[in-house]
Each structure stands twice: as structure tokens, then as C-alpha cells.
Amino acid sequence: MSDANPIRYETDAEGIVTLTFDAPGAPVNTMTQAWTNAMTEAVDRITADKDKITGVILASAKKTFFAGAELKDVLKLKEEDGPRWYNEIQQTKRDFRRLETCGRPVVAAVAGAALGGGWELALSAHCRIALDEAKIQLGLPEVTLGLLPGAGGVTKLVRILGLEAALPILMEGKTMNPRQMHELGLVHDLAATPEDMFAKARAWIKANPDAQQPWDVKGYRLPGGSPDSPKIAQMLSIAPAITAEKTRGLLPAPEAIMACAVEGARVDFDTAMRIESRYLIKLAVGKVAKNLIALFFNQTSIRGGASRPRDVPKWKATRVGILGAGMMGSGIAWANASRGIPCVLKDVSMEAAEKGKSYSAKLLDRQIQRGRMDETRAGITLSLITATASNDDLAGCDLIIEAVFEKRDLKAQVTKEAEPKLAAGGFFASNTSTLPITGLAQASTKPEKFIGLHFFSPVDKMALVEIIKGEKTDAETLARAYDYVLQIGKTPIVVNDSRGFYTSRTFGTFVREGACMVEEGIPATVIENAARQAGMPVGPLAVIDETSMSLSVHVMQQTRADMQAEGKTYVPQPGEALFERMVSEFKRPGRTGGGGFYDYPAGGKKVLWSGLKQFEKAGVGYDLEELKQRFLYRQATETARCLEEGVLTTAHDANVGSIFGIGFPTWTGGALQYINSEGLADFVKNADALAAKFGERFKVPQSVRDKAARGEGF
């Protein structure tokens, strides 16, 4: 083998062959064509030298064990590529199969992450020994990319664990650390050091010269029973309905995994492997897998700092101040403390501040009850939050975040009071969701050190933080804000200043479209179901209730007043009038105000407000597919406008922000990726038809038309 070969073949004095995966010039090992060819060559050599060999160790020279398939290749697949790709996958599987049936013990020495195809490679060994490090991740997350584990993962996991235990792992894409895998029996032994790991691998080879895979042992039976056994049959009778409820038929991978697993469990091993390959190919050439893979790359770009100024040194917050101990401020305090960052939670009274701190105490109690944390660690975490009513306790904070109510004068007041307490070189952030940062920065003595950090509620569950640059925000402040968001384990997107920024502005189009449908006379039940069937987490009427209709009306009124003060004319958006009527005329401001579009009976499930019947029109015509299209096209079109206007500057911020900020359907890969998957020419055509029927809000920006004419995408 040449030096450029991605697999090193070495034989020691005891006849043990070590195959070391080391792709030249690459940070990780992947299943490239060069690797596939090298693997075939290596297995050929093992087969030829079998009489001279006592065992085989699979190892890696990289920090990770193996990263799996080359996802960029999947993005290029077309339907006509299916047969070719099927043959390539089958070749890899044949090599794995030849390795595990070579008549010699094979051990995978796993000293780093092994995900997807990497873990399937490890499963081709008779024994897996891993470093006992909690940060190492192992498993089969293919379902999160719209795929299934097609290099033996489904077939082998079912045969090792049984259907009942394997299906949840496969269908949820669970990854685990080596100790968790050891508890499941998928890792056979743990090692303290690399030296210990290789010593154990050699010892296992000597102790198990006739090793076989479980399914090759005479008398093997599927753990837990076959698909026809009463217990498994009962589980399988309800599992498809549960899956359909979760995916709404929009994510084909979980259903494909279930079908593949059950069908494979009814046949012999080699037939099951062919079934698995066919299901993988069908998923890989489809739109959803490409959308989810594109989203994965977008997220990877963001974690790598794609929107962060490059020439600013990395930074870490050491002490963070939070103004306002309400729901948002309390959540931000938790985000800091749970990541080991000391913080000061300040409110107008000690009672209010302590109440905010108790939010973290409740979350910690929940973790203790679930066995995820002990009381000592919980106590240390809670001690990182200092509740106070005094601005003096903010002294020395290198970041202060205001999270008070959306009133410009209140935000200005707390900014002026707290900003002087910042440590030298510190910066100030506003957690506003709509008010322009440049305007809020006027209350600051250092507007270049003022930025927006828009958290989402509830903060402990929502992964996104929208970073908003003001007109004077400098590069250092932006970079530090980006670093801080990553430090607390959140996902940052960067946008330029404007009213509503990106997420709130686009979220508004979703809820207003629902209001427009109500005004058209369409039944509320139909509207809510159409949104959910399109893939939105909840319907527009339910979500505006949760986020507070009265707050939305307040923002509208603030916007109207601001524009009038600037000498501009405020043009109401379609659907806004209904929200104002709900608040002022019907006295239904949303859930926290006792009810909105829904009633919330004590101890019962929410139900749509019966008063909505007055808006329904007898005989009104509607098409469910068109309603679903309206919800998606309206948000996607607004996202494209934000990009054209410079509110957004990158497609990855748009796609990640739309999914994790406003709940745009995951299956689309994001708002701009949805336009890509529709095809820009078709998207323009469909949007024009909607604009002609429902109004200018569906009109596609010129930039999209230009891209469509050039045959480009986002």
C-alpha cells in the first residue's frame, strides 16, 4: 500500500494485523471511494494471509475513530444514481461481512467518536473496546439526517439487542458515550488509556481465537422474540401510529427504519442487509435527506464561527449580569449557571430576584429526581447565581444583559443605571425581540459596545440566540457575543438591525397568515391542523396565545408610534386588525390573560374559543394543500426579503434561525433551503399565483427571480 493509502496495514510478531485508518490530509476518516477501495484491498490481504494471522485490530490515527459516509456525496445523488450507489454500498457491506467471517477474531479499538458509518465499521468487529471518556460519542444518528444506518447498522443492532430495544435507538438517532454503550452490551470493555485499550484488544484476540458474530453462532435466536411473538407483535401493532403522530408523515426515515428492521428480522442476515440497502437508497435520493444534510452543514458552519469576525481573539465570559428576573431573565441566569458561569440576577426587589433564582432551583431539582445530577453539584450550580436588588452587585461583570419588558424608556433607564458597573472592556446587551438595537443603544455611553442578544422562551429548552448588530456595534463586541452564545451551549445566528430583526419579523408572517384565514371565514380547526400538517410545531392561533397577543398588539402600537415620530406612514399588515379586536373588543389577550383564540379550563386541555364561530362563513371554499403552502411560502418569502434587504447576510443563518427560532418545519432544512428544494423557478411561479389570489405579501423579491433566471439556488 502507498503512503497516500487511507488504511495502514501492519502485522506484529504475534501475527496480529492492525488496520489503522488515516485519511491523508483530512481531519477525519470518511467512507470515500479511496477508503472503500483500500478496505477491499485490506480484506483481500487478510483473507490471503489468513494462515499467518492470529487476529485483527481496527484502529484510527485521528482524534475520532471514524466519521462515516461522505455526506457531500449524498447531496449530489439523483434518482438515476440509485443503482450505482446500491452497488457501492453492497461492496462495503461485503467487505465488512468478509472481515467478520474471516475465521480470525476482530477487535475495534475505539479511542474517539464513531458515528454513523464509523459505528457500523466498529460493529463489523467481534469485540469493541473503547476509551472510558464521557466526551466520546458513539452511535447511529442517521435518522437526524433523513437517512438510515445502511452499512449494516439496522440489521446488526436488531440482531444484537432485539427489536424492542433497538428500534428506539435507531428511530431517535440516539448517541451515547462508551460507558452507556457498555451497559447496553454494545461495547464489550472499557479502557483507561490507549495503551490499556490495545493491551486489552490483544488479550481478547488470544482468548477468543474462534470468535463469531452472535448471528453466526449455531442456534442463534433474535433477542426478545421475533416479529410474530406476542409481545413484539403487540408493540409493532401500535408503533406505526405513534411514529406517524410524531412525524406527521413528513419525515420518512423513522418509518423506513421501522419497516427495514421488521422485514429484516423475518429473513436471513444477507437478505436483511440487501433490504437495508434498498431502503437507504430510497431515502438518500429524496428531498428530505438532502434538506436535513444541508441543515447539518449549516449548523456545522455556525459552530465553526462562520458569521464571527475572524481577526478578533476568542473570548470567554467570567461574570454576567442579568437585569430582570422574570421568565426570560431567570432562563438566562440558568443558561449561565448550568454552564459554570457566575452571574448576578438583578430585579427591583430582593423578593423578585429570589423568585427568579428559584426557577433554576426547580430545574436542578428535576435533574436530581431524574438521576442526571447529584445534590452537591446542584448546590454548586445554584450558588453561581447571585440574586440582588442592587446595581452595585453588578460591578465587575464583563457582560450585562437587560431582559426587562419591551418598553423603550424602561430599557433606557436600566441601561443607564447598570452600564457604569461593567468591567473594563465589558459590553452591554439587550434581550429585545423587536425594538431596533440602534435606537436602544442611544441610552448607552458606548454604543459600539452595545449589541442585541435575543433569547427565546423557554430559554432552558430553546437552542437559538439571535445576535443583532447595531449601526455602531464594533467587530470585537460581535465576536465576543458570538463566543458567549457558544459558551452557554446555544446556537448563534447574526443579523443586522431592523424592526423585528429576522425571527420576530418572520414569525409575525406566520401568525398573521393564520389571522387572515380566520377573517376569510375558514374554520379555526382547519387552520390549526393545516399548519401542523405542514410541519409547524403548533398552529398560528395557539402560538400567538402562548407568546401573548397583548404583547404583539403592544409591539404594533409601539411600531406605529415610532414610525409616526419619524414622519413615516404606518401601513397595517393583513391580519393585524384581528389581533387588536381580540385584545380590545373581545378582551382575550392570550393564555396568560385568561384566554385568547383558545380557552384554558382548569385541569383540562385547551379548546378553541367558541366565539371564533362568528368568523366562519357558510360554504367558504378552501384547499388544505393550498393552506399548507401559504404558511410555508409566506415565511420563506419573508426570509428571502430579509436576505435581499441585508437583515440576513448568509443562508446558513436564515436556515438555522428559521427552524430553531420560529419553528419552520425541520423536514425543509430551513426557509431558504425549502425554496431550493422546491426549485427556484417553481417557487416563483407558485408564489406569483398566491400573490394574485391573496395579495402582495406573497410577492417574491427580485433577487429570487434573478437567481431563478440564472438557474442558481441559495
Strands 138-139, 127-131: pairing kind: unpaired
Residue 572 three-state SS: coil
DSSP of 416-442, one letter per residue? HHHGGGEEEEEEEEE--SSS-HHHHGG
Nearest 5°: phi and psi at 321?
-100, 140
CATH match for 7-289 among 3.90.226.10, 3.30.360.10, 3.20.20.210, 3.40.50.450? 3.90.226.10
Q: What is the pLDDT of residue 572?
A: 83
Per-residue confidence at 355, pLDDT binned at 50, 70, 90? very high
Answer yes or no: is pLDDT of 330 > 50.
Answer: yes
What average pLDDT does the segment 424-447 reach?
A: 95
Does an H or E element contain 203, and which?
helix 194-207
Strands 450-455, 464-469: pairing kind: antiparallel
663: left (phi over 0), alpha (psi -120 to 50) or beta: left
Q: How far is CA 703 from the centre of its chain?
A: 28
DSSP 701: P
pLDDT > 70 fraction of the chain, expressed in percent and rounded: 100
Q: What is the pLDDT of residue 584?
A: 93
Helices (H), 285-397: 287-303, 327-337, 350-369, 375-383
Which residues, listed in sequence order, are joined to residue 219 by a DSSP beta bridge? none
Per-residue confidence at 207, pLDDT binned at 50, 70, 90? very high
Beta strands in 205-270 (DSSP E): none
Report the candidate in 464, 462, 412, 457 with the shortest Cα–Cα distance to residue 435.
412
Nearest 5°: phi and psi at 213?
-70, 150
Report the candidate in 144, 117, 77 with the shortest Cα–Cα distance to residue 282.
77
Nearest 5°: phi and psi at 668?
-80, -20
Answer yes or no: is pLDDT of 52 > 80.
Answer: yes
Q: What is the pLDDT of residue 1?
A: 43
> Using an 8 Å Cβ cutoff, are 360 and 334 in contact?
yes
> Using an 8 Å Cβ cutoff, are 549 and 580 in contact?
no
| Apex 460 CA angle, 455 and 465, nearest 5 | 25
Which region among 57-66, 552-561, 599-608 has the lowest average model confidence (pLDDT)?
552-561
Q: What is the pLDDT of residue 136?
A: 96
pLDDT, tens only, 88-111? 999 999 999 999 999 999 999 999
Collect all residues with Cβ–Cβ distance below 8 Å to 709 and sequence separation of at least 6.
none
Answer yes or no: is pLDDT of 346 > 50.
Answer: yes
- How far is residue 118's CA from residue 138's CA, in Å, rounded to a whole number? 9
What average pLDDT does the segment 16-31 reach?
A: 93
pLDDT, tens only, 272-313? 999 999 999 999 999 999 999 999 999 999 999 999 999 999
Q: Which amino acid is at 175?
A: T
pLDDT, tens only, 134-170? 999 999 999 999 999 999 999 999 999 999 999 999 9
What average pLDDT does the segment 342-369 reach?
A: 96
| In the chain, where the domains are located | 7-289, 320-498, 504-646+650-710
Report the candidate in 300, 305, 293 with the shortest Cα–Cα distance to residue 669.
293
Report the candidate in 260, 289, 288 with the shortest Cα–Cα distance to residue 272.
260
Per-residue confidence at 229, pLDDT binned at 50, 70, 90? very high
Report the candidate in 42, 74, 70, 71 with the shortest Cα–Cα distance to residue 56.
42
Write the secondary structure of 499-560 as one string of H (helix), E (strand) and C (coil). CCCCHHHHHHHHHHHHHHHHHCCCCHHHHHHHHHHHCCCCCHHHHHHHHCHHHHHHHHHHHH
DSSP 590: B
Whether the pTM exceeds 0.85: the reply is yes
Does an H or E element contain 131, and which?
strand 127-131
CATH match for 320-498 among 3.40.50.720, 3.40.50.2300, 3.30.390.50, 3.30.200.20? 3.40.50.720
Collect all residues with Cβ–Cβ distance below 8 Å to 563 and sequence separation of at least 6.
569, 570
CA distances from 687 to 690, 693, 699, 714 (A): 5, 10, 6, 17
- How far is residue 345's CA from residue 323's CA, in Å, rounded to a whole number? 6
Sign of torsion over alpha carbons 112, 118, 119, 124: negative
- How far is residue 291's CA from residue 482's CA, in Å, rounded to a whole number? 26
User: Taking the domain 504-646+650-710, which CATH number applies?
Assistant: 1.10.1040.50
Q: What is the pLDDT of residue 46?
A: 96
| Apex 334 CA angle, 499 and 428, nearest 5 | 45
pLDDT, tens only, 548-591? 888 888 888 878 888 888 888 888 889 999 999 999 999 999 99
- How far is residue 297's CA from residue 304's CA, in Å, rounded to a whole number? 10
Report the candidate in 80, 425, 467, 173 with the shortest Cα–Cα distance to residue 309.
467
Residue 109 three-state SS: strand
Q: How many CB atoms are closer than 10 A to CB 451?
A: 28
Answer yes or no: is pLDDT of 366 > 50.
Answer: yes
Helices (H), 108-152: 117-123
- How far is residue 553's CA from residue 559's CA, in Å, rounded to a whole number? 10
Answer yes or no: is pLDDT of 4 > 80.
Answer: no
Dihedral over alpha carbons 93, 95, 97, 98 (to 10 degrees): 160
Residue 570 C-alpha cell reads as 404606518
Average pLDDT, the chain: 95
Answer yes or no: is pLDDT of 2 > 70.
Answer: no
Per-residue confidence at 509, pLDDT binned at 50, 70, 90? very high
Residue 695 C-alpha cell reads as 395579495
Answer yes or no: is pLDDT of 266 > 90.
Answer: yes
- How far is residue 25's CA from residue 35's CA, in Å, rounded to a whole number? 13
Q: What is the pLDDT of residue 623?
A: 96
Answer yes or no: is pLDDT of 3 > 60.
Answer: no
Residue 279 C-alpha cell reads as 431502503
The answer, yes or no, to whether the previous bond of 458 is cis (omega within 30 of 0) is yes
